[in-house]
């Protein structure tokens, strides 16, 4: 039996990893854009960023996914399953990520930007040389959590019949009816995928804070 | 504790002339015109007029909360005056003249004028993610546009002056408070400002570390070229270094004059009371 089902698990695993990686990269950019946007001196930018964040934090990922996949076609936008999945996941994670970016940026002590002003740095230099490097170290643990959340969130795409890990498992289960084995394997695979992300973040965190505190 | 110092001692030809006289022969480097600052209902500065001559060392003394720090922060553009104007070398700091009307200065204008000013903070505010060397060379490199080698050379020289050349690869967290403050002084000096502000530079230090920092500041002061505004609670130090002492209380300059007069012959009752608190110890 295992000989037959393992290859399909492997196919599902690949889809899940792809979904996670693509979404994580896009979410990362969205998080910075919206995080900085909320601290912008322009009202319009702040408003735009806040609207995005509140809409995507305030509604469930499940509904967002369905809306993008099933409702958008009514407006003439038909997206492939994979694109719809990545879009929903990254928009959602990006909204949460922007709060991480915003809150760490403002938690860098005020004396730091004052020292940068006293050295006559431009606003962009203050951010790039002084604020961001310090905020980044604080962001990492939270980003680590977010990426794991994202990985687990990918399971929802099975509901739009994208053949990810969870989808493969449910299909297999309905044909061979061995829930204990199948879902145990599923559990283990998700855990194994999450390990490199956790370790990777820890490694970066360690590198970035070396010698400092 | 003595600190190795290699400062160049330039005799200022006007040094022995009283600061009142010097003001008349040279254009002030800093002028506060009728400056007031309020936070809501609380007025921390009340119509301050003050001129600082190039190279003049002015010490600000007075009780906590009297507005001394705010006066310095306005000049460093960390805080905006509620009313009044500040000029640096005859140029408006917080305002721009457009078609004969004064408007609020934009970031570009502030950037231009504040290059003349440097500041040392009570809590050092070193950049914790950079080595000591990078703390000092980052601004020359990025703000003054020096090459990496030039910036490094200048930074190393400056760190030698404050006696910390052995620490260039350390991070701020590995230094004592006194060492941190000396790095902060080097970081401000390396930009070669015409006016340096010291905001209670030794107030956050353990008592045994105060001396090394004061010695460094004294050595810089004796170079003569740079004007200094020193906010301090170290009365002996103020007496030693300053050409002029300003006594601040409740947002106003109550009394000012050369150190001898201020400390030996205080006129106002408030200054007498303030000084008597120090003499008791």
Residue A36 pLDDT grade (very low, low, confident, very high; cuts 50, 70, 90): very high
Q: Quote the number of domains for chain B.
A: 1
Average pLDDT, whole number, for chain B? Answer: 88
Residues of A with CB below 8 A from B171's CB?
211-212
Give the H or E element holding residue A139. helix A132-153
Segments of chain B assigned E as strands: 30-39, 42-52, 57-61, 83-88, 91-92, 95-98, 101-104, 117-120, 195-199, 227-231, 244-249, 252-257
Assess if residue A12 is contained within a domain.
yes
Residues with Cβ within 8 Å of B270's Cβ and at least 6 positions away in sequence, in order, are: B247, B249, B254
Alpha helices, DSSP H, located in A38-131: 43-58, 61-66, 81-107, 110-118, 123-125
Per the document, the length of chain B is 281
pLDDT of residue A213: 54
* pLDDT above 70: percentage of residues in chain B: 90
Angle, in degrees to the nearest 10, between helices A179-208 and A165-176:
170
Q: Are B83 and B265 in contact (CB under 8 A)?
A: no
Assess if residue A152 is contained within a domain.
yes
Residue B22 pLDDT grade (very low, low, confident, very high; cuts 50, 70, 90): low
Residues of A near B (Cβ–Cβ under 8 Å) read: 109, 111-112, 114-115, 117-123, 125, 129-130, 133-134, 137, 211-213
In which residue are the tokens 């969205």 written?
Answer: A30
Structure ipTM: 0.87
In terms of Cα–Cα distance, which of B48, B11, B6, B43 is closest to B30? B48
In angstroms, the CA A116 to CA B127 distance is 9
* A124 DSSP 8-state letter: H
Assess if residue A49 is contained within a domain.
yes
Q: Are B66 and B249 in contact (CB under 8 A)?
A: yes
**Residue range A13-21: average pLDDT?**
93
Name the maximum alpha-carbon separation found in chain B. 57
**Residue range B83-103: average pLDDT?**
88
Q: What are the φ/ψ torsions at residue B30 (nearest 5 degrees)?
A: -130, 135
Assess if residue A132 is contained within a domain.
yes
Say which residue, B156 or A208, is predicted with more confidence. Answer: B156
pLDDT of residue B19: 55
pLDDT of residue B224: 76
pLDDT of residue B102: 83
In angstroms, the CA A137 to CA B132 distance is 19
Q: Quote the number of domains for chain A.
A: 1
Residue A191: give its domain's CATH number.
1.10.3720.10
Chain A residue with the nearest C-alpha to that of B111: A120
In angstroms, the CA A101 to CA B236 distance is 47
Chain B residue with the nearest C-alpha to that of A211: B171
Residue B184: give its domain's CATH number.
3.40.50.300
Residue A194 pLDDT grade (very low, low, confident, very high; cuts 50, 70, 90): very high
**Does the structure show a pLDDT above 70 at B5?**
no
Residues with Cβ within 8 Å of B65's Cβ and at least 6 positions away in sequence, in order, are: B44
**Residue range B72-96: average pLDDT?**
92
Assess if residue A213 is contained within a domain.
no
**Residue range B204-218: average pLDDT?**
90
In angstroms, the CA B201 to CA B118 distance is 13
In angstroms, the CA A37 to CA A48 distance is 8
**Does the structure show a pLDDT above 60 at B278?**
yes
Q: Which of A120, A125, A130 sits opposite B115 (nearest CB)?
A: A120
pLDDT of residue A175: 87
**Residue range B57-66: average pLDDT?**
91
**Residue A123 and residue B127: Cβ atoms within 8 Å?**
no
Q: Are B40 and B82 in contact (CB under 8 A)?
A: no
Assess if residue B1 is contained within a domain.
no
Q: Which of B107, B118, B171 sits opposite A118 (nearest CB)?
A: B118
Q: How close are the terminal C-alpha atoms of chain B, in Å?
A: 22
Residue B17 pLDDT grade (very low, low, confident, very high; cuts 50, 70, 90): low
Question: Which tokens is A50 given?
Answer: 């806040």
Residue A5 pLDDT grade (very low, low, confident, very high; cuts 50, 70, 90): confident
pLDDT of residue B71: 94
Whole domain around residue A8: which residue ranges? Answer: 2-208
Q: How close are the terminal C-alpha atoms of chain A, in Å?
A: 54
pLDDT of residue B101: 83
In angstroms, the CA B281 to CA B273 distance is 14
A37-60 pLDDT, tens digit per residue, is 999 989 999 999 999 999 999 999
3-state secondary structure of B27: coil
pLDDT of residue B162: 92
**Residue B126 and residue A125: Cβ atoms within 8 Å?**
no
Residues of A with CB below 8 A from B107's CB?
122-123
Assess if residue B14 is contained within a domain.
no
**Does the structure show a pLDDT above 50 at A81?**
yes
**Residue range A144-166: average pLDDT?**
90
**Residue A119 and residue B125: Cβ atoms within 8 Å?**
no
Q: Are B194 and B143 in contact (CB under 8 A)?
A: no
Assess if residue B112 is contained within a domain.
yes
Instruction: For B159-189, give the DSSP string.
Output: HHHTT-GGGTTS-GGGS-HHHHHHHHHHHHH
**Residue range A136-144: average pLDDT?**
91
Question: Which tokens is A157 given?
Answer: 């795409």
Assess if residue A31 is contained within a domain.
yes
**Residue range B118-125: average pLDDT?**
95
pLDDT of residue B187: 96
Whole domain around residue B210: which residue ranges? Answer: 19-279
Q: Degrees (nearest 5) of the Cα angle B46, A111, B186?
A: 100
What residues are paired with B120 via a beta bridge? B198
pLDDT of residue B27: 86
- CB–CB contacts below 8 A, A to B: 66
* A127 DSSP 8-state letter: I
pLDDT of residue B8: 36
| CB contact B204 to A (< 8 Å) | no
Residue B20 pLDDT grade (very low, low, confident, very high; cuts 50, 70, 90): low
Chain B residue with the nearest C-alpha to that of A130: B127
pLDDT of residue B9: 36
pLDDT of residue A207: 84
């Amino acid at each position: 039996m295992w000989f037959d089902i393992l290859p399909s698990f492997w196919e599902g695993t690949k889809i899940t990893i792809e979904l996670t990686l693509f979404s994580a990269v896009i979410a990362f950019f969205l998080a910075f854009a919206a995080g900085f946007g909320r601290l912008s001196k322009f009202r319009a930018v702040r408003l735009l960023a806040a609207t995005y964040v509140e809409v995507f934090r305030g509604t469930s990922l499940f509904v967002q996914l369905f809306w993008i996949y099933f409702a958008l076609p009514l407006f003439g936008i038909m997206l492939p399953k994979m694109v719809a999945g990545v879009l929903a996941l990254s928009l959602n994670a990006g909204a949460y990520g922007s709060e991480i970016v915003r809150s760490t940026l403002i938690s860098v002590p005020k004396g730091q930007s004052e020292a940068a002003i006293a050295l006559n740095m431009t606003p962009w230099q203050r951010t790039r040389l002084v604020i961001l490097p310090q905020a980044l170290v604080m962001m990492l643990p939270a980003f680590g959590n977010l990426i794991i959340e994202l990985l687990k969130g990918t399971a929802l795409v099975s509901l739009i019949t994208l053949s990810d890990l969870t989808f493969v498992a449910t299909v297999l289960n309905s044909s061979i009816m061995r829930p204990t084995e199948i879902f145990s394997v599923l559990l283990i695979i998700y855990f194994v995928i999450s390990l490199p992300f956790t370790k990777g973040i820890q490694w970066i965190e360690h590198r970035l804070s070396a010698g400092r505190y | 504790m003595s600190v190795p110092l290699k400062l160049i001692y330039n005799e200022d030809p006007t040094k022995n002339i009283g600061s009142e006289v010097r003001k008349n022969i040279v254009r002030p480097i800093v002028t506060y015109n009728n400056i007031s600052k309020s936070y809501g209902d609380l007025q921390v500065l009340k119509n301050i007029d003050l001129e600082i001559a190039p190279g003049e060392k002015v010490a600000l003394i007075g009780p906590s909360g009297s507005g001394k720090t705010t006066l310095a922060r306005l000049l460093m553009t960390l805080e905006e005056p509620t009313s009044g104007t500040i000029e640096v070398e005859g140029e408006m700091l917080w305002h721009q003249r457009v078609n004969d009307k004064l408007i609020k200065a934009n970031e570009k204008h502030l950037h231009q004028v504040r290059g003349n000013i440097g500041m040392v903070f009570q809590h050092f505010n070193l950049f914790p993610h950079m080595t000591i060397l990078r703390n000092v060379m980052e601004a020359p490199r990025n703000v003054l546009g020096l090459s990496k080698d030039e910036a490094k050379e200048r930074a190393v020289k400056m760190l030698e002056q404050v006696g910390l050349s052995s620490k260039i690869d350390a991070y701020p967290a590995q230094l004592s408070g006194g060492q941190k403050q000396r790095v902060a002084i080097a970081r401000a000096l390396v930009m070669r400002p015409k006016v340096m502000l010291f905001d209670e530079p030794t107030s956050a230090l353990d008592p045994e570390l105060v001396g090394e920092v004061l010695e460094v500041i004294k050595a810089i002061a004796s170079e003569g070229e740079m004007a200094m505004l020193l906010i301090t609670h170290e009365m002996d130090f103020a007496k030693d270094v300053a050409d002029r002492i300003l006594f601040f209380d409740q947002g106003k300059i109550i009394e000012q004059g050369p150190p001898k007069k201020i400390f030996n012959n205080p006129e106002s009752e408030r200054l007498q009371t303030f000084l008597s608190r120090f003499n008791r110890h």
